[in-house]
Amino acid sequence: MIRFENVGLRYGMGPEILRNISFHVEPGSFHFLTGPSGAGKTTLLRLLFMALRPTRGLINLFNRDVATVSSTDLPLLRRKVGVVFQDFRLLDHLSTYENVALPLRATEKAEHRYRANVVELLKWVGLGDRMRASPEILSGGEKQRAAIARAVVAQPKLLLADEPTGNVDPAMAKRLLGLFEELNKLGTTVIIATHDVGLMRLSDAPHMILEDGHMHVEN
C-alpha cells in the first residue's frame, strides 16, 4: 500500500528534514510512528496524505506514483485516507454530528443511510450528548474525539493519526486505541504518530522510529 524509496524533504533552501527514508507498509497493517520532537513525524504524515511532495525520491501510494498524480485525481485519492490532525480542523459553523458526517456527505450518500452509524460512533467516543454542540464550546479532549470519529467514520483504506491521544486521559486513550484496532481488523491500514509510551505498550504493533531525519523499524 505504501512504499518510500530514498525520500528526502527540505523546506526551501534549508537542511533536509527527512533524509533517505525507505520503507514499505503492507495493506491491513498497524504501525506506530515515533521519535523525538522535531524528528519529522508530522512532515512524514503530510507526505502520506499528499499535502507535501518530496524533494527527492519515490513515494508510491495505492499503486500510484505520487509525483504523477494529477490535481484532478488527488482529491479522489485522498478520500481513501482518514486523517486525525493535531489541530483538529473541525468546522465551527457545523455541529459535532455534521463535522463527523462530512466524509460521508462528500460521497453524496443520503443521510438516512449513514445517520445511525454516525450517532453510534459519537456515542462510542463519549460524545453522544454533544452531537448538536458547536466545536467552539467543546473541550480539547472532546474536539480530539470528534476529529478521530470523523477520520474513521468512512472506514478509510489508510488512517493517519497525529498524536490522537494527546488531549485525553489514559482510560479514553485505551478506548480510542481499541477503536483503531477494530478498524484495522476490518482492513484499514493504521499509522499512529505518538510520543505516548504507555499507549504503545498496549499493542504489539511495530514501531517506525524517526531520528535525525532517518528511520528504522522495530518489531
Output b/e per residue, 45-66; b: 16+ Cβ within 10 A.
bbbbbbebebeebebebeeeeb
Cα separations (Å) of 38 from 12, 74, 88, 166, 212?
A: 17, 28, 20, 16, 9
The boundaries of the domain holding residue 110 are 2-218
Q: How does pLDDT run across 18-53, given as a tens digit for each residue?
A: 999 999 999 999 999 999 988 899 999 999 999 999
pLDDT value of residue 181: 93
Single pTM value for the model:
0.91
Q: How many domains does the chain have?
A: 1
Q: How does pLDDT run across 89-127, given as a tens digit for each residue?
A: 999 999 999 999 999 988 778 899 999 999 999 999 999
What is the Cα 210 distance to its own chain's centre? 17
146 touches 90 (CB < 8 A) = yes
Q: Indicate the pLDDT class of residue 143, thresholds 50, 70 and 90.
A: very high
Identify the residue whose cell numbers are 499493542. 203
CA distance 104 to 141: 23
Provide the edge-to-edge strand list for the sheet that holds 64-65.
16-25, 2-10, 56-61, 64-65
Please report, for the domain that includes residue 202, its CATH number.
3.40.50.300
